[in-house]
Chain A
Amino acid sequence: MIIKKKSIRTLLYRSFEEKLKPKEEARLRRALADSPELRAEKEEILRLRHFLEERDKFSFSPHFDEKVLTKWRQEKECLEKTPSFEEQLSSIFVKLAYIGTAVAVVLVIINVILGDVLSSEEIFFASDSLYETLLHLPFF
Protein backbone atom coordinates (compact mmCIF):
# COMPACT_ATOMS: atom_id res chain seq x y z
CA MET A 1 0.00 0.00 0.00
CA ILE A 2 2.80 2.42 1.01
CA ILE A 3 4.78 1.52 -2.12
CA LYS A 4 1.69 2.12 -4.26
CA LYS A 5 1.09 5.50 -2.60
CA LYS A 6 4.74 6.44 -3.10
CA SER A 7 4.68 5.56 -6.78
CA ILE A 8 1.48 7.56 -7.31
CA ARG A 9 3.12 10.58 -5.71
CA THR A 10 6.14 10.08 -7.96
CA LEU A 11 3.77 10.08 -10.93
CA LEU A 12 2.06 13.21 -9.63
CA TYR A 13 5.36 15.12 -9.35
CA ARG A 14 6.58 13.80 -12.70
CA SER A 15 3.35 14.98 -14.32
CA PHE A 16 4.31 18.59 -13.55
CA GLU A 17 7.57 18.23 -15.43
CA GLU A 18 6.89 15.91 -18.37
CA LYS A 19 4.12 14.26 -20.30
CA LEU A 20 3.23 10.90 -18.78
CA LYS A 21 2.58 7.78 -20.82
CA PRO A 22 -1.17 7.24 -21.46
CA LYS A 23 -1.23 4.29 -19.04
CA GLU A 24 0.45 6.32 -16.29
CA GLU A 25 -1.80 9.27 -16.95
CA ALA A 26 -4.91 7.09 -16.59
CA ARG A 27 -3.55 5.63 -13.36
CA LEU A 28 -2.87 9.07 -11.92
CA ARG A 29 -6.31 10.32 -12.98
CA ARG A 30 -7.94 7.37 -11.20
CA ALA A 31 -5.86 7.92 -8.08
CA LEU A 32 -6.74 11.61 -8.04
CA ALA A 33 -10.43 10.80 -8.39
CA ASP A 34 -10.24 8.33 -5.50
CA SER A 35 -8.10 10.33 -3.09
CA PRO A 36 -9.07 13.77 -1.76
CA GLU A 37 -5.69 13.80 0.00
CA LEU A 38 -3.83 13.48 -3.31
CA ARG A 39 -6.03 16.13 -4.91
CA ALA A 40 -5.19 18.51 -2.06
CA GLU A 41 -1.49 17.75 -2.48
CA LYS A 42 -1.74 18.50 -6.20
CA GLU A 43 -3.42 21.85 -5.50
CA GLU A 44 -0.81 22.75 -2.91
CA ILE A 45 2.08 21.88 -5.18
CA LEU A 46 0.59 23.94 -8.00
CA ARG A 47 0.26 26.86 -5.60
CA LEU A 48 3.81 26.39 -4.42
CA ARG A 49 5.18 26.23 -7.97
CA HIS A 50 3.30 29.37 -8.96
CA PHE A 51 4.67 31.15 -5.87
CA LEU A 52 8.22 30.07 -6.65
CA GLU A 53 7.99 30.98 -10.31
CA GLU A 54 7.35 34.65 -9.61
CA ARG A 55 11.07 35.17 -9.86
CA ASP A 56 10.92 38.93 -10.30
CA LYS A 57 10.83 39.01 -6.52
CA PHE A 58 14.61 38.72 -6.57
CA SER A 59 16.79 41.71 -7.34
CA PHE A 60 19.88 43.38 -6.01
CA SER A 61 19.95 46.85 -4.49
CA PRO A 62 19.47 49.95 -6.70
CA HIS A 63 22.49 51.00 -8.80
CA PHE A 64 23.82 47.45 -8.78
CA ASP A 65 25.07 47.97 -12.36
CA GLU A 66 27.10 51.01 -11.27
CA LYS A 67 28.64 49.06 -8.39
CA VAL A 68 29.70 46.27 -10.74
CA LEU A 69 31.14 48.73 -13.26
CA THR A 70 33.08 50.61 -10.57
CA LYS A 71 34.57 47.33 -9.37
CA TRP A 72 35.38 46.37 -12.97
CA ARG A 73 37.07 49.74 -13.66
CA GLN A 74 39.19 49.37 -10.52
CA GLU A 75 40.23 45.89 -11.57
CA LYS A 76 41.11 47.08 -15.08
CA GLU A 77 43.20 49.94 -13.69
CA CYS A 78 45.02 47.46 -11.48
CA LEU A 79 45.64 45.16 -14.45
CA GLU A 80 46.99 48.04 -16.54
CA LYS A 81 49.40 49.01 -13.77
CA THR A 82 50.64 45.46 -13.40
CA PRO A 83 53.62 44.91 -15.76
CA SER A 84 53.36 42.21 -18.42
CA PHE A 85 55.12 38.84 -18.03
CA GLU A 86 57.99 39.91 -20.33
CA GLU A 87 58.43 43.14 -18.38
CA GLN A 88 58.45 41.24 -15.10
CA LEU A 89 60.99 38.74 -16.50
CA SER A 90 63.32 41.42 -17.82
CA SER A 91 63.08 43.29 -14.51
CA ILE A 92 64.07 40.08 -12.68
CA PHE A 93 67.11 39.68 -14.98
CA VAL A 94 68.19 43.29 -14.43
CA LYS A 95 67.93 42.79 -10.65
CA LEU A 96 69.88 39.53 -10.90
CA ALA A 97 72.56 41.28 -12.96
CA TYR A 98 72.94 44.04 -10.36
CA ILE A 99 73.07 41.57 -7.50
CA GLY A 100 75.57 39.38 -9.40
CA THR A 101 77.83 42.33 -10.16
CA ALA A 102 77.70 43.51 -6.56
CA VAL A 103 78.52 40.04 -5.24
CA ALA A 104 81.42 39.71 -7.72
CA VAL A 105 82.83 43.08 -6.70
CA VAL A 106 82.56 42.21 -3.01
CA LEU A 107 84.24 38.84 -3.57
CA VAL A 108 87.08 40.40 -5.54
CA ILE A 109 87.60 43.04 -2.85
CA ILE A 110 87.57 40.41 -0.08
CA ASN A 111 89.97 38.27 -2.05
CA VAL A 112 92.28 41.15 -2.70
CA ILE A 113 92.27 42.51 0.81
CA LEU A 114 92.34 39.25 2.80
CA GLY A 115 93.91 36.86 0.33
CA ASP A 116 97.58 36.48 -0.57
CA VAL A 117 97.18 36.29 -4.35
CA LEU A 118 97.12 39.97 -5.19
CA SER A 119 97.80 42.90 -2.91
CA SER A 120 95.63 45.97 -2.92
CA GLU A 121 98.62 47.92 -4.25
CA GLU A 122 98.89 45.55 -7.17
CA ILE A 123 95.19 45.87 -7.96
CA PHE A 124 95.01 49.59 -7.77
CA PHE A 125 98.39 50.58 -9.17
CA ALA A 126 99.13 47.66 -11.44
CA SER A 127 102.83 47.31 -10.57
CA ASP A 128 105.51 45.64 -12.76
CA SER A 129 105.39 42.46 -10.71
CA LEU A 130 101.70 42.19 -11.52
CA TYR A 131 102.40 42.25 -15.25
CA GLU A 132 105.07 39.63 -14.71
CA THR A 133 102.66 37.44 -12.80
CA LEU A 134 100.03 37.87 -15.50
CA LEU A 135 102.51 37.09 -18.30
CA HIS A 136 103.51 33.85 -16.59
CA LEU A 137 99.90 32.65 -16.58
CA PRO A 138 99.33 29.64 -18.88
CA PHE A 139 97.15 31.68 -21.34
CA PHE A 140 100.09 33.65 -22.67
Chain B
Amino acid sequence: MAGRTIDLEQEKELLHRAREGDEEAFRKIVNLHQRQVAATVMGMLGNCPEAEDVGQEVFIQFFRSLDRFRGESRIATYLTRIALNLAVNELRRRKKEKQLLAAGAEGWLKASTDSREEANDARRLIAQALQQLEPRFREVIVLRFLNGYSTEETARILKLPLGTVLSRLSRAQMKLREILLPLMGQEK
Protein backbone atom coordinates (compact mmCIF):
# COMPACT_ATOMS: atom_id res chain seq x y z
CA MET B 1 0.00 0.00 0.00
CA ALA B 2 1.17 3.54 -0.75
CA GLY B 3 2.93 5.39 2.03
CA ARG B 4 4.16 2.28 3.85
CA THR B 5 7.79 2.62 3.05
CA ILE B 6 8.99 2.24 6.62
CA ASP B 7 8.39 -0.59 9.04
CA LEU B 8 6.37 -0.40 12.24
CA GLU B 9 9.39 0.13 14.50
CA GLN B 10 10.68 3.00 12.36
CA GLU B 11 7.18 4.48 12.36
CA LYS B 12 7.00 4.34 16.18
CA GLU B 13 10.39 6.04 16.41
CA LEU B 14 9.25 8.72 13.98
CA LEU B 15 6.09 9.31 16.02
CA HIS B 16 8.12 9.54 19.22
CA ARG B 17 10.38 12.16 17.68
CA ALA B 18 7.39 14.10 16.33
CA ARG B 19 5.77 14.12 19.78
CA GLU B 20 9.02 15.56 21.16
CA GLY B 21 8.64 18.38 18.63
CA ASP B 22 11.38 17.28 16.22
CA GLU B 23 10.66 19.22 13.04
CA GLU B 24 12.59 16.82 10.83
CA ALA B 25 10.28 14.03 11.99
CA PHE B 26 7.27 16.12 10.92
CA ARG B 27 8.87 16.72 7.55
CA LYS B 28 9.57 13.03 7.09
CA ILE B 29 5.95 12.15 7.87
CA VAL B 30 4.77 14.67 5.27
CA ASN B 31 7.19 13.43 2.62
CA LEU B 32 6.42 9.78 3.25
CA HIS B 33 2.67 10.18 2.97
CA GLN B 34 1.99 13.20 0.75
CA ARG B 35 1.44 11.19 -2.45
CA GLN B 36 -1.09 9.00 -0.74
CA VAL B 37 -2.90 11.99 0.77
CA ALA B 38 -2.78 13.70 -2.65
CA ALA B 39 -4.36 10.66 -4.30
CA THR B 40 -7.13 10.58 -1.70
CA VAL B 41 -7.87 14.30 -1.76
CA MET B 42 -7.52 14.79 -5.52
CA GLY B 43 -9.44 11.61 -6.19
CA MET B 44 -12.31 12.88 -4.08
CA LEU B 45 -12.21 16.58 -4.99
CA GLY B 46 -10.66 16.63 -8.42
CA ASN B 47 -7.50 18.40 -9.45
CA CYS B 48 -8.49 21.78 -8.03
CA PRO B 49 -6.74 24.52 -6.02
CA GLU B 50 -8.61 23.56 -2.84
CA ALA B 51 -7.13 20.06 -2.97
CA GLU B 52 -3.73 21.29 -1.80
CA ASP B 53 -5.27 23.33 1.05
CA VAL B 54 -7.19 20.27 2.18
CA GLY B 55 -3.97 18.24 1.88
CA GLN B 56 -2.16 20.68 4.17
CA GLU B 57 -5.03 20.59 6.65
CA VAL B 58 -4.83 16.78 6.74
CA PHE B 59 -1.27 16.92 8.08
CA ILE B 60 -2.02 19.81 10.44
CA GLN B 61 -4.94 17.84 11.95
CA PHE B 62 -2.66 14.83 12.31
CA PHE B 63 0.02 16.87 14.12
CA ARG B 64 -2.64 18.36 16.38
CA SER B 65 -3.86 14.90 17.33
CA LEU B 66 -0.40 13.38 17.83
CA ASP B 67 -0.88 13.08 21.59
CA ARG B 68 -4.16 11.25 21.10
CA PHE B 69 -2.83 8.97 18.34
CA ARG B 70 -2.11 5.67 20.08
CA GLY B 71 -0.75 3.86 17.07
CA GLU B 72 -3.68 1.42 16.85
CA SER B 73 -3.54 1.89 13.10
CA ARG B 74 -0.70 2.83 10.79
CA ILE B 75 -0.05 6.52 10.17
CA ALA B 76 -1.05 5.99 6.52
CA THR B 77 -4.48 4.64 7.47
CA TYR B 78 -5.05 7.39 10.02
CA LEU B 79 -4.08 10.06 7.48
CA THR B 80 -6.37 8.49 4.88
CA ARG B 81 -9.30 8.68 7.30
CA ILE B 82 -8.59 12.34 8.02
CA ALA B 83 -8.19 13.04 4.29
CA LEU B 84 -11.48 11.34 3.46
CA ASN B 85 -13.36 13.21 6.20
CA LEU B 86 -11.97 16.57 5.15
CA ALA B 87 -12.66 15.84 1.48
CA VAL B 88 -16.25 14.87 2.26
CA ASN B 89 -16.66 18.10 4.26
CA GLU B 90 -15.32 20.04 1.30
CA LEU B 91 -17.77 18.27 -1.01
CA ARG B 92 -20.64 19.22 1.32
CA ARG B 93 -19.45 22.81 1.31
CA ARG B 94 -19.34 22.76 -2.48
CA LYS B 95 -22.79 21.25 -2.68
CA LYS B 96 -24.17 24.08 -0.56
CA GLU B 97 -22.31 26.62 -2.66
CA LYS B 98 -23.58 24.95 -5.83
CA GLN B 99 -27.12 25.17 -4.57
CA LEU B 100 -26.59 28.83 -3.88
CA LEU B 101 -24.93 29.68 -7.14
CA ALA B 102 -26.90 27.20 -9.26
CA ALA B 103 -23.74 26.67 -11.26
CA GLY B 104 -21.99 23.42 -10.55
CA ALA B 105 -18.93 21.37 -11.29
CA GLU B 106 -20.67 19.61 -14.18
CA GLY B 107 -20.17 22.56 -16.47
CA TRP B 108 -16.56 22.83 -15.40
CA LEU B 109 -16.10 19.12 -15.96
CA LYS B 110 -17.52 19.19 -19.45
CA ALA B 111 -15.37 22.13 -20.35
CA SER B 112 -12.22 20.52 -19.02
CA THR B 113 -12.78 17.15 -20.64
CA ASP B 114 -13.26 18.89 -23.96
CA SER B 115 -9.76 20.24 -23.80
CA ARG B 116 -7.36 17.87 -25.55
CA GLU B 117 -4.42 19.11 -23.49
CA GLU B 118 -6.13 18.25 -20.21
CA ALA B 119 -7.50 14.97 -21.52
CA ASN B 120 -3.93 13.91 -22.23
CA ASP B 121 -2.98 14.40 -18.62
CA ALA B 122 -3.67 11.10 -16.89
CA ARG B 123 -4.00 12.66 -13.46
CA ARG B 124 -6.59 15.15 -14.58
CA LEU B 125 -8.34 12.47 -16.55
CA ILE B 126 -8.77 10.22 -13.53
CA ALA B 127 -9.73 13.10 -11.27
CA GLN B 128 -12.33 14.32 -13.75
CA ALA B 129 -13.77 10.87 -14.32
CA LEU B 130 -14.03 10.34 -10.57
CA GLN B 131 -15.96 13.57 -10.19
CA GLN B 132 -18.72 12.00 -12.24
CA LEU B 133 -19.21 9.24 -9.70
CA GLU B 134 -21.33 9.63 -6.61
CA PRO B 135 -19.10 10.22 -3.54
CA ARG B 136 -19.93 6.77 -2.08
CA PHE B 137 -18.61 5.09 -5.24
CA ARG B 138 -15.74 7.55 -5.56
CA GLU B 139 -14.37 6.81 -2.09
CA VAL B 140 -14.08 3.06 -2.70
CA ILE B 141 -12.20 3.65 -5.97
CA VAL B 142 -9.90 6.17 -4.29
CA LEU B 143 -9.07 3.83 -1.41
CA ARG B 144 -8.85 0.62 -3.45
CA PHE B 145 -6.95 1.86 -6.49
CA LEU B 146 -5.40 5.26 -5.85
CA ASN B 147 -4.31 4.36 -2.32
CA GLY B 148 -3.78 0.68 -2.96
CA TYR B 149 -5.72 -0.62 0.05
CA SER B 150 -7.16 -4.12 -0.13
CA THR B 151 -10.94 -4.53 -0.20
CA GLU B 152 -10.85 -5.63 3.46
CA GLU B 153 -8.84 -2.56 4.48
CA THR B 154 -11.18 -0.35 2.43
CA ALA B 155 -14.17 -1.86 4.23
CA ARG B 156 -12.49 -1.28 7.60
CA ILE B 157 -11.60 2.34 6.83
CA LEU B 158 -15.10 3.13 5.57
CA LYS B 159 -16.72 1.04 8.31
CA LEU B 160 -18.77 -0.82 5.69
CA PRO B 161 -19.50 -4.53 5.18
CA LEU B 162 -17.16 -6.21 2.70
CA GLY B 163 -20.09 -7.10 0.44
CA THR B 164 -21.09 -3.44 0.16
CA VAL B 165 -17.54 -2.47 -0.77
CA LEU B 166 -17.38 -5.20 -3.43
CA SER B 167 -20.69 -4.19 -4.94
CA ARG B 168 -19.79 -0.48 -4.94
CA LEU B 169 -16.44 -1.33 -6.54
CA SER B 170 -18.13 -3.26 -9.34
CA ARG B 171 -20.64 -0.50 -10.06
CA ALA B 172 -17.98 2.19 -9.92
CA GLN B 173 -15.75 0.28 -12.34
CA MET B 174 -18.64 -0.21 -14.76
CA LYS B 175 -19.31 3.52 -14.75
CA LEU B 176 -15.61 4.42 -15.01
CA ARG B 177 -15.24 2.04 -17.92
CA GLU B 178 -17.86 4.04 -19.80
CA ILE B 179 -16.28 7.39 -18.92
CA LEU B 180 -12.57 6.67 -19.02
CA LEU B 181 -11.95 4.12 -21.73
CA PRO B 182 -12.86 6.36 -24.67
CA LEU B 183 -10.59 9.07 -23.22
CA MET B 184 -7.72 6.73 -22.31
CA GLY B 185 -7.04 6.18 -26.00
CA GLN B 186 -6.11 9.87 -26.29
CA GLU B 187 -3.56 9.65 -23.50
CA LYS B 188 0.05 9.89 -24.57
Kindly report which residue of chain B lies nearest to residue A51, judged by CB atoms: B184
Closest CB of chain B to A127's CB: distance in Å?
66
Instruction: Kindly state the separation between the CA atoms of A58 and B26 in the bound complex, as whole angstroms.
Output: 21
Q: Does A53 interact with chain B (Cβ within 8 Å)? A: yes
Contact A47 B181 (CB under 8 A): yes
| Interface contact A55-B145, CB-CB below 8 Å | yes
Interface digits, A1-32 against B, CB 8 Å rule (1 contact, 0 not)? 00000000110011001100000000000000
Q: With A48-B176, A58-B42 in contact, is A69–B122 under 8 Å at CB?
A: no
User: Are A64's CB and B126's CB within 8 A?
Assistant: no
Q: Find out whether the CB atom of B170 lies under 8 angstroms from the CB atom of A55.
A: no
Q: Number of contacting residues on A, CB 8 A? A: 31
Query: For A13, what are the chain B residues with a Cβ–Cβ distance below 8 Å?
Result: 166, 169-170, 173-174
* The 10 nearest A-B residue pairs measured at CB: A13-B170, A52-B145, A58-B39, A58-B38, A57-B123, A65-B30, A68-B59, A55-B146, A55-B39, A17-B151
Residue with the highest number of chain B CB atoms closer than 10 Å, among A9, A44, A48 = A48
A41 to B181, CA, bound (A): 11
Contact between B181 and A48, CB atoms less than 8 A apart: yes
Nearest B residue to A10 via CB reads B170
Which residues 45-66 in B have Cβ within 8 Å of A in the complex? Answer: 51-52, 55-56, 59-60, 63-64
